[in-house]
Structures are given as structure tokens and as C-alpha cells.
Structure 1
């Protein structure tokens, strides 16, 4: 079983707990705490373990000893697969790929054979089988055999692209750069949504699309991201619009090979919150912005969203103690202060807003109000409205929004884009 805190961030660290059916005694197998794994492997003798997140434990997860389960969980910018002894509580990293590179997820377990799925930003997914070996009733987790089930496929010209993981912030694996080698092409700063999610090195068709047409992409797992420790997740509470924005900016500035490029912004939901914040707080840095169903006004969001507790919690208050905003002047001030609308008068970059008319998470009225504020201040802006909900994940909306985002970026990069790809 898994357990998390009843209050606080919507997605944080999980505990793995076990129940003895005879005694009904419950014990913790994996706690919230970070730890160092001392499992010798071909890759690393010591490996940080940041806890369990976004768990989807396979229906069949047990090895033949009936006490060791196998699961996968985000760690830094990757998904790692672990074998966990529920009796000794030892955690073993399975050295299927280099730590903090690529993503490996276990799908099924049967007779000590694991069916897994592996992908990276530069390589579409592949199925393969892993055989576990035991001796003297103990598994050797450093000795595994890997056999392909499906063939490996590469993107066109994949050798011309590079995926680089960086320990850019707080000595943690917090950045992923993906783009052409030895190129000064335009760079898309792409913060993830949530905010308690993470950017991962798995294959995404939308990212591949932008890189194939001549862009590079930078992902930043800012404070609040999952996969880097419970404290890292919770450090953002009460600081949205501050810590997360600064982390994205500081990560970008940490490498002149990134910051000296032509820069554009793309993000959805809380990622849209961040890109609209960045364009307002650092108005001269970015050539264009594309925001998908962005959170632009937390006060309006509180009264309209299907997750009102999210708004109050992220602002640093206890939702159960808030009856209404009418008698909560301090909360209203804090919500306004956290919102991107606060700096809309500073925005210079042309801004494209991609909105879903069926969105119940971030209603389109937030994006429309932000659009009118941009126009009021003389900023070039456009709205595209789709018959879709929050993720814009239908094929029609997904394809149309990506193509229009690319055209928007190219239009406002104009000659700079043409020079970079020639």
C-alpha cells in the first residue's frame, strides 16, 4: 500500500507500507526520507534515492521470493526502477540504464522476468525483458540480463542531437537540455506544470517536433518539482511566483551557452503561470511566449477551478481554515501578489494564448482577461480557442496548437531563426 499526507501539495512523496494479514500490524517499508543506496553496480557504487512519487505499481509486481516487489518512480529527470525487499526494507537500484539518464518503467513481473519500457527524449519507446538471478535464496541485483522485445527505433538524424542532464540547481539533477549538437539555434524554455510534477527524459512527440524543425529545449525541475525529495517539493508552498520563477531564471543564467541564445517561452497550466511570470519579470530576455491554459490570476482561479484547495495551499495557507475570501484580506493580497497579472504592464514579448473552452481546471476566462490586459498595454497578443479541456490533448487541438506555437516563434524570431538552421 502507499500513503501520503492528507493535506499539502496535491502530489508529493509517498510512503510504501505493508500490512501483516495475521496480526494486522502496519509497518513502513519506504519512508519519506532521502537516502543513499549502497548497491554496487556497473554505473555507480552510491546512488541518491529521493523517495517515491507518481506511483503506478504494476498489478504483478512480486519476484518469486514473495517478499521483493519491483516498481518504477521519478528520480531527478528520469524514471528509475527499483527492487524493494519488504522484510529487510532494502532498496536496490536495477542497473538497466545509467542513473539519471533515460526513463525505465516496469510494466509486468512473472517468474523473475520483468517486462519494461524504456525511452528518452531522443529515442522512442522500446519494450524489453529483464531476467533476475538468485543464488542461495538471495537476488544479485547487479547481475541482470536484458533482451529486446521490440526493435529500437531512432528519430531522423538523431545522431545530430544531444540530451544533457545537469546538476544545475542545489547540486541535484535539475535540468535537461535537448537539441542539435554544436548549434546556437533558438532555445525554448519549457517549465513543467503542476507545479508538483517533473520534467523527465522520456520520449514526447511534441518535444521531438520542435527539435526536428530547428529548436533546442531546456527543462528545469525548479523547487516544488517531484522526484528530488519531499522537502524539495514542499519548499515551494507559499512561494509560487517567486522561488519557481527564480529557479528557472537562475538555471538559464548558469550556462552562457543557453542564456546567450535567442530565447522563447512555452508552458502549460502552472508552466503557463511561469512563462507569463518570466515574460513580466524579465521582459527584455524573451522574443516570444506561448502559454497553454495558463494560470494568470489566482484570485479568479480560486472561485472558478475544480481544485480550489490548490490555490490556497500553494499560496501558503490551510484550505480547511478558509471559509471565503471575502473576509480574508491577507489571502487576497497574497494571491494577487503571486499572480502573473501583477507584472503584465512590463511584458514586451508577443504572446500566444492557447485556451480550451471546456477547461474546468483553469477556465479560459483567465487567459482571456490576460489577453485583454496585454492588448491594453500595447503588447502583440493572440488567442486560439479549442473545443477541448485542460491538457488540449485531442489530436486536433494538440496538432493545431503545436503548429501555431512553432509558427508564432518563427515569426518573431524571423531572420534569427533562419540563420540558426542554415
Structure 2
């Protein structure tokens, strides 16, 4: 069947907003306990539940109605539950208390201290307790107090304080004998990807910790995922060479040994608890994931000979690695398949899908494949991204017409976009949009030096990379320079607002809970990020001039193109007043502007119906601004001054 000629943007797509959100789940939190496999799923209704697959290969939900497995430690959470000893311990979102549950039974309240939050728990079988990161909001201090505590598995105690004094803690891990504890700690103004410390201590007879040893880390060295091997050696990931590589601690002489030095990233930015990129099949075999130039790989490492052997897998993204003898479980995706929880037999090298985030319904003839892109940017640097050309077997563009370009900027800003199949991108490319997903300066996956290009340059280097990526594609003659749009959430929303305010390149933009006032963010945000801007911009209030200079709300007279703002009204990280101020200012200036809000949503929407509404609102907005007809009926959005 011949393709129909139609204006880019107006193509009829086989993908609806329901396909993007309502039919998908989020997968994370893989844990193994005996012959049971556990993971957590965030569902379209906004609730997260724990799922268990037993030895008979049957999966079942463990979390009953009325419970939502999600911690608010650091606000971003992760490490929401522990599966160990035949039971589970989890944080419930509504009250932030921990509950204990035996499969098949109702959860029982495990902690009873209001104002406390818990994350990243492990089981200490020797002492009959769990060890957990606790965030205390009851002290009356300006910020909560973080610590490592132990709580008896019999419950009903307030917990024993183990480690305190640092601003943040993560990843408590016991050695196989249960005699020593390793953990990570760091202090303001560092974020965990800037500098952390790895500590080890032995237990005393009363269950407290004795003399402590600093193994590695500091203010300029980021440590990731300490883990004990089955024979009691401590392994971890450090970026001391400029790349997150694997190391182990030689306790006899206090030295640290590099295991397979290479220009690759074995670690990730620790926005959440419970992250894992490696595990042990035995004392002699380690299985690890790593990324190079944005693409992930899986490999085995012989811990005796240090022989490093990559596997040949179709995955482009791998995370949440958990290993048992003969098997490794992880979350993976590829350029042609959405994310799934998979089981890999590394002896036979057979891979099996356990659970997909959603079923694949898109015919490959509609699928746009990520193309890695490097392009020149400011000050002679090279920036990175993934380009997705428009693709729909049923349509071609009009003669002499080039497609509109949608530039996407990820959140963080210390984060990364990945080359995986996402319906959220195919939604645009099947309608005739080209998409550039940018890994701007500050993104992870390209080494510490690339991350640190954003030091003191937030709102400048990242925005320049987005702008230069669009200019590069225009210069290559593959997109329409008169129909350029930019979109992003959180830090990506800030990049959107800055690009529209300080450059005259884009013709429209969409900001999802984006920062418009850096000064307000510095004053109002939560503890985890309260000093984040010291490194990204400068110390506040000493460098208030920089905060004002880079805040779009203070330069609204320079913004002269249409904008849609999308905001959750319960957002504690970017409060809704920032979007409201931007909307009011643009409306007063007479620019086309829309403001879409969602009650009950925080920083990153969890309800499918709200995500669907937001996506359709963005498409509708572009259709009115770029003047193309939509192929389907869609609820109109009120656009002021159109």
C-alpha cells in the first residue's frame, strides 16, 4: 500500500496517549530471597505494589489495596522495601511507616514513630534486626536529620542509632558473616555523584558500631554501591580516574585495587536508593553492567584472573542488576523493545522476559530507531544525544517540506537519556515529528569531566547544547528551522524556559514542572537538593546575582514565543507558584500561553490519566502554534492570547 502524502505533525498515528501511559507499568526494585524473585511495579493508578514470583514461576501481587509501597526519603525514594528471611518490610506512602508482611498475610505495622521516613533496609540476621536509613522530620530543625538505625525484627522499639553526624547516608551493607557494616556518607554541598565516603566498622557486643575505617572517597570522589563478595572482600565503584570503575579493598594493607580500568561508566547518579549495577555469582565471578557513549553492556569478571568478558546481548540499557549462581536478573530495554525485567542464564547465554512494562503493539514499520548523535557546541566541546527521524509507514511529508523538530531535555540535570524504545517518543515520530533527545553537559554516562562541564554553568552549558543540537540538525537539512520546539520536565523544564528566554531559535516550548526562579528553588526546596545549586550555579545568597541572571522569570521581557506550562499542585521540589508566576507574566505580556495543572500530583506525575492529559495537551498546543490539523479528536486546551 502506497504511503499517503500529508503535512508533518498531522499524520495519523497507531499510538495513542493511552498506549504511552494507561497500558504501562513501572518496573524497579528487583530483590531475591531464596527461590523467590521480587520486584515493585508502579501502576497506572499511581500505586506501587510488590510482586513475587515463586519457584513455580507464578507471579502474584503481595501488596493489598490501601497500601502504596513508596518512601519519601530524599523525596525521590527508592529502596522502598526489603525481601529477606521469607518476609518483606516496606515503606507505605501515606504514613511513611514501615510494615512487615509474610506472603499471603496482611501487612503489620512495624515502626510507630510519626515524622520518620525509612529507606534502603537490610536484614541483620545475627542480631535479629533490620538496618535502615532513617530521615527524622521531628526535630524542629530547618532540615530533617538523617542517620543509620537498627530496629529489632520483633518490632515495637524506636530503633538504635548506629551512625549519625553526616548530612546523608545510603547503602548500608553487611559482610557475609554479619560482623561488619559498610555504608556511604556525604555532606552538603555535595551531591552523591560529586563526592561520597565509604566507611566500614565492626559490631560491638551491645550491637553498636566500633572503630570506623574510611575505605575510599572524599569531597571529589564519588563512590557507588559498596558490596561484599561471598568470601568477605569489599567491592565498590569509584570515579577517582574520571570514570566510575570497579575496585576492591585490600584490607591487609589498606590499599584499593582497580579491577578493569576503562573509559566506561559502571556506576550511575544516585538519585534513588537501591541502585545496583553488579553482583556476585560466586566468590570468583562477578557480573556487571556498564555504559559507553550512552549504550549499556553486560559482562563477567573473573575476580582471580581479572579476565573481563562481555556478553553479546541485544540490550542497549541495563539497570538494577541482581545475581545468583548461574542467573542474573535486571531491567533492560533496547532500541526496538520497551523496558522489561529479564532473566539471563549466563552459562547458556539464554535470555527470558519475566515482565514487560507494556506489551509491544507497534509494528516495526512504524518504529523510529535511536541514532547516536555527536555535535559541536560552545567553547569547542562536543555534546551528545539521540536523534529519532519521523517514521510512519502510512505517510510521507509534503514535497519540499521538512519535519518539525522536538528537542527533549532530560531532568536532573545530573541524569541521562537512554537509547531505548519509548512509546513517549514514538508518539511524536509516528505523527511526523523529528525528535532530538539531548544528553547535554552534566549528563551521566560520559565520564566525570562531562558531568562537571555543568559545574557553575547550569542554565548556560546545558541550554547551549540543546540549542546547538537543534542548529546542527537544521544545518544538516533534516529538520525545519521555522518549526523548532523544546520540551522537558524539572531541570529539563528549566532548560526549556531558558532556551525560550535567552535564545531566539525555538518557536514553541513545553515546561513540565520546570524551574523559572532559581532563587525560589534555592530557598524552598527539600534537604537532598538544598545545596545542589551551590555547584551548579554558585553559593546562595553570596552569588545571588547569578541566580537572578539565570532565572527566566526575571527576564520575561526577552521571551517572545508560545509556551505551555504543565504542573503538579503538590510538588515539593518545584512548587507550583513558579509555573504560576511564569504564566501570569506571559499572559500579561500578551504571548500565547497555556497552563495545565493536576491536583494531587508531585514532582513527576504518577497517575496515567494525568500523564495522558498532559501529553495530549502538549500535542494540541503545537498543532495550534504550528498550524497543522490533528488526525484525531482531542480535548482542547485553553490558550491565552492565541
- The aligned residue for residue 626 of structure 2 is 413
- The aligned residue for residue 400 of structure 1 is 613
**Which protein has the bigger helix share?**
1
- Secondary structure (helix, strand or coil) at the match of 1:360 reads coil
**Which protein has the bigger strand share?**
2
Is contact 2:374-2:385 (8 Å) kept? Answer: yes
- The aligned residue for residue 521 of structure 2 is 301
How many residues align structurally?
A: 384
Compared CA separation, residues 417 and 265, structure 1 to 2 (3 A): farther
Shift of 1:51: 4.5
Matched, 1:391 2:604: yes
CA distance in 1, matches of 2:185, 2:403: 43
CA distance in 1, matches of 2:233, 2:340: 40
- Bigger radius of gyration: 2
- The aligned residue for residue 535 of structure 2 is 313
Matches within 5 A, 1:307-346: 307-317=529-539, 325=541, 328=542, 331-346=543-558
Name structure 1 gaps, 5 residues minimum: 38-45, 134-143
CA distance in 2, matches of 1:242, 1:179: 27
Matched, 1:146 2:355: no
CA distance in 2, matches of 1:187, 1:391: 24
Is contact 1:71-1:105 (8 Å) kept? Answer: no
- Secondary structure (helix, strand or coil) at the match of 1:180 reads coil
Shift of 1:77: 2.9
CA distance in 1, matches of 2:629, 2:503: 20
Shift of 1:334: 1.2
What is the CA deviation profile of residues 126-167 of structure 1, one whole-angstrom value per residue up to 9, with x for unaligned ones?
45443334xxxxxxxxxx623344699644243242321123
CA distance in 2, matches of 1:175, 1:30: 25
TM normalised by structure 1 equals 0.78
Is contact 2:277-2:290 (8 Å) kept? Answer: no
- The aligned residue for residue 53 of structure 2 is none
- The aligned residue for residue 136 of structure 1 is none
CA distance in 1, matches of 2:435, 2:594: 23
CA distance in 1, matches of 2:381, 2:524: 39
Shift of 1:382: 1.6
CA distance in 2, matches of 1:203, 1:105: 15
CA distance in 2, matches of 1:149, 1:340: 45
Compared CA separation, residues 337 and 412, structure 1 to 2 (3 A): same
Matches within 5 A, 1:33-44: 33-34=241-242
Is contact 1:277-1:343 (8 Å) kept? Answer: no
- The aligned residue for residue 280 of structure 1 is 501
Compared CA separation, residues 272 and 146, structure 1 to 2 (3 A): same
Name structure 2 gaps, 5 residues minimum: 1-181, 195-221, 246-260, 632-642
- The aligned residue for residue 422 of structure 2 is 204
Compared CA separation, residues 25 and 103, structure 1 to 2 (3 A): closer
Matched, 1:352 2:564: yes
Matches within 5 A, 1:15-414: 15=224, 17=226, 30-34=238-242, 48-54=263-269, 56=274, 61-64=279-282, 66-73=283-290, 75-85=292-302, 92-97=309-314, 102-105=316-319, 107-120=321-334, 122-126=336-340, 128-133=342-347, 145-149=349-353, 154-160=360-366, 161-168=368-375, 174-181=384-391, 184-255=402-473, 256-258=476-478, 260-261=480-481, 262-283=483-504, 285-306=505-526, 307-317=529-539, 325=541, 328=542, 331-387=543-599, 388-414=601-627
What is the CA deviation profile of residues 50-92 of structure 1, one whole-angstrom value per residue up to 9, with x for unaligned ones?
341146555993123x243324355443343343455666655
Is contact 1:350-1:379 (8 Å) kept? Answer: yes
CA distance in 1, matches of 2:629, 2:405: 12
Aligned-CA RMSD value: 3.5
- Secondary structure (helix, strand or coil) at the match of 2:603 reads coil
